[in-house]
Structure 1
Amino acid sequence: MMLLTLAALAAAGASTARAGGWAAGKDLDAIIEKAIEDGEIPGAVLLIGQPGRVLHRKAYGNRALVPRREPMTVDTIFDAASLTKVVATAPSIMKLFEQGRLRLNDRVTDYLPEFQGGESDITIRHLLTHYSGLRPDLDLEPKWKGYETGVKLALVDEPVAEPGERFIYSDINYILLGEIVRRVSGEPLPEFARKHFFDPLGMRDTMFRPPKKLRRRIAPTEKVPEFRLPLRGIVHDPTTRYMGGVAGHAGLFTTADDLGRFAEMLLGLGSRDGVRVLQPLTVRKMISPQSPADKAILRGAGWDIDSPFSTSRGELFPLGSFGHTGFTGTSLWIDPVTRTYVILMTNRVHPNGQGKVVSLRTRVATLTAAALGVDLPGVTLTSYNETLARAKRRMVRNGRTLTGLDVLAEEGFARLKGKRVGLITNHTGLSRDGRRNIDLMVEAGVDLRAIFAPEHGIRGELDTTEIGHTKDRATGIRVWSLYSGKRRRPTEEMLRGLDVLVFDIQDAGAR
């Protein structure tokens, strides 16, 4: 798989767009407008381009719905959420890397000596690729406050797996990386990223903690209990909010146009309009697999290459393309083969946190790739994680066996339409062709409000009686743990607002 990925990266100089102009505009308009009509997002900005060429740049719907409607504009500033990881933090680490001030295989304790009491084997590479074994996020209860407090909590957080053992998407990794940038460079992450990337690339609307004068252009996010109105110019991520608005995993605000400049820099191997911010070899390193060679989930230095979260790749962009998403509804995908970037910016969490964008990202990317065409021999279009269960699928000679999930899917989940759904499931909840029940429901428009995970957690990987609540990283849906302490069933609070529970867990003998 790695050879295929690197082969696609090696083809980065090829141009494969079909002659005759851009043909996907009307279809893209239709699917985005349908998502707005269905209440999945309030609005969006879509920017598709290649170095020196804009293929599609358009605003849709509304920037705000409450307290009053405001139309979306192409210069809207969005809370980038986890795009912070790949636009600010990972590039800053790679800048220090090419300056010789750190190495990817250096232990974290070389730069943060108090980390894990100075005894940890976790490396910078482990943090960048989410193979550190650290938990997904810091605990928010009891409440705490301040950047220094957040860093101290990250420094003492206990891993739940050995370094390199398995992929666990973790905000704690990037809190630590942001602090490494500060300690090695002597500058806070926002200042370092501004000086080395944002200012040289002309990304004038990209920043942490935007000033009040920009509020009218900022897309509001969710209404949370601490504030009277939806958050606007205040970071949505609660951990970053506790840390004062600056962290390595979230907190950045930006526009589609600024991300376009950043994407063109990466396609230019570190240079845009004659301004170089990274060396070509550094960029090649950053966007090629840096995760353990024996693992199926491929991550670059921050970038998602092939994982269950690669929904923004669609189904036609080749393996070797890369990108990232943000919980608030932002996404960026870059394809070196067609030299194309796809930036879809939404504030899907506005106003009540219930929006959906996963399916839309996939359809936008697939439409774009289809319009461009990928005509190079040997380029792989289907990734391992896209077809993970095809290798497990049984060949049935006579007849066609359907699981309950398959039946619901074939019916378009009609039995669940109009209902607020809770799903009790884990990693065994797959269709006959290996697709997750969660993804199938979301793509079909099911109003999936909550997921409930039993013993061993949502991925079946945890061996403890204290499994905490989390979120499904692909969809952002809350995952309630049913295996914590003495709790073995949903509480009244967990069930509040649900109309129906769907149970989809295969018995041990049927896996």
Structure 2
Amino acid sequence: MKKVKTGLDILAANSKLQKTFKGNVALLCHNASVDSTYTHAALKFKHLFSERFVKLFGPQHGFATDAQDNMIETDHCIHPYFNIPVYSLYSETRIPTDEMLEGIDHLFVDLQDIGCRMYTYIYTLTLLLEKCIDKDIEVIVLDRPNPINGIEIEGNILESDFESFIGRHPIPVRHGMTIGEVALMHQKFWTKNQTNLRVIKMQYWERDMYFEDTELPWLLPSPNIARTDTPLIFPATVLFEGTLLSEGRGTTQSLEIVGHPKIEPFSFYENHLASVIKKSQLEGFKLRPITFLPTFQKQENEVCGGFQIHVTNKSTFKPWRVGQLLMRELYNNLGEAFEWKKPPYEYNYTHEPIDIINGTDKLRHWVVNNEPLEILDALECLDDYKLKLDEIKIY
């Protein structure tokens, strides 16, 4: 198995390809936008395109990827080294303005996604594609791996009534696409008008790969996705952003743990959760009782009891189901200590945050009514989505 080459690696090594971009160039990127030698894309672009490299853009969490949380915006600035504007697409706007796009002939997108519907970089991309429909701008996606593979699909399809910036399109929670394939899916199924789009494919990436199989360097794509295991656990733990339980922000294990000051983890696991998990027949993971102290965000400076999700078999682990099961059991055993987070969430001031995250209110009702796992099967209707995915796959 050969080391994967990203779209950035392909571009940087191909002088003939570089010469097809004749005008001014801009780049949407973040901390994880590096080539296989850890060189940042912006440095590559400075060397490749010189004075034609005129603008930078950053997604949620910023170009520097240092903004911690939802609804924490980043400012526009002039970069002190590159001496070009850096425009934030998580600021007063999530859509690039006409002024931001002036003087650009080619706009490259180099973002490491994590394969989950609730992660916003794919929506920064699709908003950009929609904005460029009537612009004389070519959008080029430098493709990167889906770190939790391109085969496994899991979770309910987003319902249109619950669209938000963490869910714009009818896809499942674990969507199985690379970011380049998201762009192709958008152009084929989610818009009536086409953008001038090009996807620079990876080499040697195969759909059954997890990120560690690629031999590429892993860098934080956002401040709380620290390890290569975290993206696989994220479809479980992101659900708890819709509650007042901690999902580990303010610890070194963020988005791998869940807890609350009212949980005594060992007794809850031994006397209840262990038998529930066994009965569920869910596999590929272990819940480890832990105690932790969040230093910021929810339950700040409160000692929490909870659980760390350890993946023991990637091929059998079903994170969405595990997260929903854990949510149901905590809701129905914590009593008044369990609280749903109140709006706003990702600039939606009307719907319950948990419903925005789930892309439906049916899953909240499933939790509250303590319904069986078989109901999840009925909510996971993926046949039509899989047919669409087969049409746009490029690997």
Q: Calculate the TM-score normalised by the size of structure 2.
A: 0.28
Q: Select the structure of larger CA radius of gyration.
A: 1
Q: Calculate the TM-score normalised by the size of structure 1.
A: 0.23
